[in-house]
Amino acid sequence: MFALRAGAVVAASMVTALAAQAGEVEVLHWWTSGGEAKAAKALQATLQAKGHSWKDFAVAGGGGDSAMTVLKSRVVSGNAPAAAQIKGPSLQEWAQEGVLADMSDVAATNQWDKLLPPVVGNIMKYKGKYVAVPVNVHRVNWLWANPEAFKKAGAKVPTNWDEFFAAAEKLKAAGIIPVAHGGQNWQDFTTFESVALGVGGTEFYKKALVQLDQATLKSETMTKVLTTFKRVKSYTDKNAPGRDWNLATAMVIRGEAGMQLMGDWAKGEFISAGKKPGVDFICTAAPGTAKAFTFNIDSFALFKLKNEANVKAQKDLAAAIMSPEFQEVFNLNKGSIPVRLGQDMSKFDDCAKQSSKDFVDTAKTNTLVPSIAHGMAVSSAAEGAIKDAVSNFWNSDKMTVAQAMDKIAAAARTK
Ligand code: GAL
């Protein structure tokens, strides 16, 4: 009897202790499409399994521009969320403001330095201390294709830009929209970066879009890139302006369009629609980029918080994000690959396995490059200015290639 009562007391005090430690984590993200939302749910479930509560702060808008605007106003008013989806050099910009929390203890306990490739770990650190935690590695230089549409058109899935335009002609002749595109500036920019990589190669890409070298931005190669980029537009449909990226993916899923140039979050849409890679859809490197990899690493910056229980919850979230269980379930839904080294890939499909192999191989051959369109390559100010110039060119009927080149080079000087 006594033992039973004592047991009950212990159990009750454990519940109290758990409740006392339970905190709330408010998480800002822009994962609202089908595949993205499933991945975000996995994050929520992981946190809740630790006894904490999740406050969803989703701001719709592919690429995250709207989310970043909202985040700025929240932080300025002294009301930062616990975690926010922030990537690449922007992490340094936020850390410089002094608003990010030091996660060194979580990182040390969980051996992040050993589990992350140094190229990734360095992005997450400010002055040697972790201020963010990565969730995945997205590859941006993909081409998605509908095999039925290609069969109907008698077209071959392209491996270079000549083949791309040959396939586009055939798709068009068969009454299929060749290229599914969403006319939003970040999507125009995503297409541009794949064209730049495919036409110019990795050395050109690095000089032009990472180092922002003026001479390279005004070179012969840049002329070719811009000409090819604009030619892609002629194979998009008239309803493209303003279209969300996932609606463009849906056009490929339905076979209404033949191909889409988009990062592998698009795969999350195919998967969430019950489609099988290699059967219902094809993933292949964007034309001319098979030996290169534009990486886009999603990460969460952790903001300084006052409430102790919430700090504990925030640290639990950071630790959970790097766990193999979370990395698996999240990335299976998101279309990306785990960022953690040595992760078991047996449950992943061939697109992910290819991506995983290429991520490792391209790191060795120096053809692993940061995505400029997804905030990995340059400061947010330069990125925004170049993105606008590229998108203006895409949308203008009057701007010449030479004028576009000048505008882009001028935008690249933005500090
Ligand atoms: C990217 C982000 C991806 C995906 C995509 C579309 O910038 O890294 O995770 O969400 O935007 O929204």
Q: Which of 305, 324, 354 is the last residue of a domain?
A: 354
In a domain, 5, yes or no: no
Tokens at 220, concatenated? 């012969």
Distance 63 CA to ligand 1 centre (A): 5
- Per-residue pLDDT at 413: 98
- 12 part of a folded domain: no
Specify the 3-state DSSP secondary structure of 196: helix
Please say which residue of 309, 328, 354 terminates a domain: 354
Structure tokens at 230: 């604009």
Q: What pLDDT score was predicted for residue 20?
A: 52
CB 230 within 8 A of CB 405: no
Clarify whether residues 328 and 180 are in a common domain.
no
Cβ neighbours of residue 330 closer than 8 Å, sequence gap 6 or more: 39, 42, 43, 135, 136
* CA dist 16 → 19, 45, 49, 91 (Å): 5, 22, 17, 37
Residue 239, domain member (yes or no): yes
Count of beta carbons in the 10 Å neighbourhood of residue 356 = 18
Residue 56 belongs to what H/E stretch? strand 53-58
Q: Is residue 138 lining ligand 1, measured as CB closer than 6 Å? A: yes
Please give the tally of structural domains in the chain.
2
Same domain, 219 and 73: no
Same domain, 384 and 350: no
188 occurs within a structural domain: yes
CA dihedral sign of residues 39, 95, 53, 104: positive
Ligand 1 centroid–CA 334 distance in Å is 10
Mutate to test the pocket of ligand 1, among 28, 29, 30 (most ligand atoms within 8 A of CB): 30
In terms of domains, do 93 and 229 share one? no
Same domain, 266 and 389: yes
Is residue 198, in this structure, part of any structural domain at all? yes
Cα separation, 31 vs 28, in Å, equals: 9
145 lies in the same domain as 120: no
One domain for residues 247 and 393: yes
Angle at 306 between CA 301 and CA 308, to 5 degrees: 100
Give the closest residue (by CA) to ligand 1 atom 5: 63
394 close to ligand 1 (CB < 6 Angstrom): no
Domain at 155, CATH number: 3.40.190.10
Spatial distance between the Cα atoms of 148 and 135, rounded to a whole number of angstroms: 34
Residue 48 located in a structural domain: yes
Answer yes or no: do 146 and 231 share one domain.
yes
Which domain, by its residues, includes 129?
22-138+296-354
pTM over the 0.85 mark = yes
∠ CA 223-396-399 to the nearest 5 degrees?
45
Do residues 310 and 97 make contact, with C-beta atoms less than 8 angstroms apart?
no
Asked if 241 and 330 sit in the same domain, the reply is: no
* Same domain flag for 305 and 280: no
Closest residue by Cα to atom 12, ligand 1, is: 62
Say whether both 386 and 275 belong to one domain: yes
* Assigned token pair, 77: 């008013």
**pLDDT by position in tens, the chain (length 415):** 344 444 444 454 454 445 557 999 999 999 999 999 999 999 999 999 999 999 999 999 999 999 999 999 999 999 999 999 999 999 999 999 999 999 999 999 999 999 999 999 999 999 999 999 999 999 999 999 999 999 999 999 999 999 999 999 999 999 999 999 999 999 999 999 999 999 999 999 999 999 999 999 999 999 999 999 999 999 999 999 999 999 999 999 999 999 999 999 999 999 999 999 999 999 999 999 999 999 999 999 999 999 999 999 999 999 999 999 999 999 999 999 999 999 999 999 999 999 999 999 999 999 999 999 999 999 999 999 999 999 999 999 999 999 999 999 999 999 9
CA of 62 to the centre of ligand 1 (A): 6
64 within ligand 1 shell (Cβ under 6 A):
yes
Q: Tell whether 213 is covered by a domain.
A: yes
Q: Establish if 28 belongs to a structural domain.
A: yes
* Phi, psi torsion values for 294, nearest 5 degrees: -95, 115
Structure tokens at 63: 């690429």
Q: Are residues 163 and 260 in the same domain?
A: yes
Question: Which residue's CA is minimally distant from atom 9 of ligand 1?
Answer: 298
